[in-house]
Amino acid sequence: MRVNGKPYRTIWLADDGRTVRIIDQTLLPHRFAIVDLRYLADAVTAIKTMQVRGAPLIGAAAAYGICLAMAADASDQSLDYAYDALLASRPTAVNLRWALDTMRAHLRNRRREERVEASYRRAAEICDEDVAINAAIGDHGLEILRGAAAKKRGKVPINVLTHCNAGWLATVDWGTALAPIYKAHDSGLPIHIWVDETRPRNQGMSLTAWELGQHGVSHTVIADNAGGHLMQHGMVDLVIVGTDRTTARGDVCNKIGTYLKALAAKDNGIPFYVALPSPSIDWRIDDGVADIPIEQRDASELSRISGRLPDGTIVQVEIAPEGSAMANYAFDVTPAHLVSGLVTERGVCEASAQGLRWLFPEGAPTAESKAHA
């Protein structure tokens, strides 16, 4: 996508072909800064501190983290250490494990002298695959938006509510939930986006609104709890969100607050779609509420908020009373029965085991393989 008219991906290689470059998303929307990752520790820190975030981008960053480790030491011990260090950086995003499994399997049986070049080639392929997947998600989601427009019989625009950031900043390019929106905008379909602020890190306000603005998409930022009110008054035509992990039966794990949006949509008869690339499907588990580990992040994300002063200085301020306990759950799980459909690179299916098996028969494990997972 474009920043100030210049095309960017969210992760790419510097001219030396070894240094990995990322956009520091912790500084957006006030400052656009590029950070160089030269060592494994840099990649781990970038994922942990959310300089990169979003399940697909986390997977891409982890793949390049393996590359950086191999460039320093291509031994089996280095490969295993890098795998473990990166896997521990963000426990919820299943793309992280998928990318690491892919990289380790690609490198394990290669000679040490081959591993550096082989790792960089495979990481680049993972990035290119992500772009193609997200573009396809956009095409399938565009048909949903066209259908919503047809139902409005000329009443424009289509009003879409989204939560957190599932745009190009969360992927290598295009995004998941926002890919259909960009495709609709580019095709001339009138569309307006309600952007949840998405506390506590405000990814909706800081990231989604920023990238929509860069692309010229009409949008309005709202408080997290305003969505239900808008739905009650006919101001939302559909909801579309992303997911960090989707179970084999279609439960979806996304940013905290997503479940409440799904409940409000169900109560008001509004379609609730989830856009997901197939690497975010965790075929090993069925019950998302019981089995997906929910990351609890540092309490300071709740008790502090960052902003820009009139002189341009970016500061953090404390907003909580001293002594109050904090619980910062980063994700929640929306059960499949609240999801109208899953938008994937292969098409749209119902949120169920049958729906996912229909689109991805090769991905659905047998009972025996699940027992040994």
Answer yes or no: is 17 within a domain.
yes
Answer yes or no: is 121 within a domain.
yes
Answer yes or no: is 89 within a domain.
yes
- Among 137-141, 250-254, 294-298, the range scoring the smallest mean pLDDT is 294-298
Instruction: State which of 110, 129, 148 marks the end of a domain.
Output: 129
pLDDT for res 93: 75
197 and 295 within one domain? yes
Instruction: State which of 101, 129, 157 marks the end of a domain.
Output: 129
Mean per-residue pLDDT over the chain, rounded: 94
Return the CATH number at 194: 3.40.50.10470
154 and 42 within one domain? no
By C-alpha distance, which of 195, 168, 173, 203 is closest to 28? 203
Q: Please state, for a pLDDT cut of 90, what percent of the chain lies above it.
A: 91
360 and 275 within one domain? yes
pLDDT for res 100: 97
227 and 247 within one domain? yes
By C-alpha distance, which of 296, 278, 237 is closest to 91? 296
pLDDT tens digits for 3-40?
A: 988 999 999 999 999 999 999 999 999 999 999 999 99
pLDDT for res 364: 58
Q: Please state, for a pLDDT cut of 70, what percent of the chain lies above it.
A: 97
pLDDT tens digits for 310-332?
A: 998 999 999 999 999 999 999 99
203 and 56 within one domain? no
Answer yes or no: is 51 within a domain.
yes
pLDDT for res 109: 94
pLDDT for res 92: 78
102 and 232 within one domain? no
pLDDT tens digits for 166-210?
A: 999 999 999 999 999 999 999 999 999 999 999 999 999 999 999
pLDDT tens digits for 210-231?
A: 999 999 999 999 999 999 999 9
193 and 112 within one domain? no
Number of domains in the chain: 2
Answer yes or no: is 363 within a domain.
yes
Instruction: State yes or no: pLDDT of 369 exceeds 70.
Output: no
Instruction: State yes or no: pLDDT of 372 exceeds 60.
Output: no
92 and 40 within one domain? yes
Structure tokens at 167: 């745009």
pLDDT for res 2: 87
65 and 182 within one domain? no
Structure tokens at 27: 């500084």
> How many Å apart are CA 193 and CA 217, to the nearest integer?
8
As a whole number, mean pLDDT of residues 236-262 equals: 97
Answer yes or no: is 265 within a domain.
yes
Instruction: State which of 81, 98, 129 marks the end of a domain.
Output: 129
Return the CATH number at 10: 1.20.120.420
What is the enclosing helix (H) or strand (E) of 100?
helix 94-107
By C-alpha distance, which of 13, 9, 10 is closest to 37? 13
As a whole number, mean pLDDT of residues 229-257 equals: 97
Residue with tokens 């739905």: 231
332 and 246 within one domain? yes
Pairing of strands 238-241, 158-162: parallel
Answer yes or no: is 135 within a domain.
no
322 and 344 within one domain? yes
Structure tokens at 223: 């408080």
DSSP assignment string, 236-277: -SEEEE--SEEETT--EEEETTHHHHHHHHHHTT--EEEE--
Tell me which residue range forms the domain holding 189.
Answer: 140-371
296 and 225 within one domain? yes
By C-alpha distance, which of 48, 43, 50, 57 is closest to 8? 57
Q: Give me the active site residues, please.
A: 244
By C-alpha distance, which of 273, 265, 279 is closest to 143? 273
Pairing of strands 34-37, 331-334: unpaired
Q: What is the CA radius of gyration of the chain?
A: 20
pLDDT tens digits for 43-100?
A: 999 999 999 999 999 999 999 999 999 999 999 999 999 999 999 998 777 899 999 9
As a whole number, mean pLDDT of residues 272-284 equals: 95
Answer yes or no: is 134 within a domain.
no
